[in-house]
């Protein structure tokens, strides 16, 4: 707590601005890493983060990855 009270007004503003920019960047990277798959048999759509999936959860057939949205 002492650290925050010892900052000047513009330093606190810059610190908050940097945190907001980093949060926006991390959110963008997290959304961009999601992959979307559609089952050719039953039409089920699946979104997966950080993984690859090969089978549909509903019918078990092989999936194909959707084009970039």
| Backbone dihedral angles phi then psi of residue 29, each to the nearest 5 degrees | -65, -35
Is 46 domain-assigned?
A: yes
Number of domains in the chain: 1
pLDDT of residue 11 exceeding 60, the answer is yes
End-to-end CA distance of the chain: 44
If phi > 0 it is left, if psi is from -120 to 50 it is alpha, else beta; for residue 8 that is beta
7 vs 3, 19, 21, CA distance in Å? 7, 16, 20
With H, G, I as helix, E, B as strand and everything else as coil, classify residue 50. coil
Tell whether 1 is covered by a domain: no
Full-model pTM: 0.54
Q: Please give the residue range of the domain that contains residue 54.
A: 7-65
In a domain, 28, yes or no: yes
Does 2 fall in a domain? no
Residues 63 and 45: beta-carbon distance below 8 Å: no
Mean pLDDT of 59-68: 74
- The answer to whether residue 35 sits within a structural domain is yes
């Amino acid at each position: 707590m002492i650290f925050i009270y010892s900052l000047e007004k513009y330093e606190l503003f810059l610190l908050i601005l940097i945190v907001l920019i980093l949060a926006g960047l991390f959110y963008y990277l997290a959304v961009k890493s999601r992959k979307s798959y559609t089952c050719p048999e039953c039409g089920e759509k699946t979104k997966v983060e950080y993984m690859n999936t090969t089978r549909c959860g509903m019918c078990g057939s092989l999936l194909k990855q959707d084009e970039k949205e």
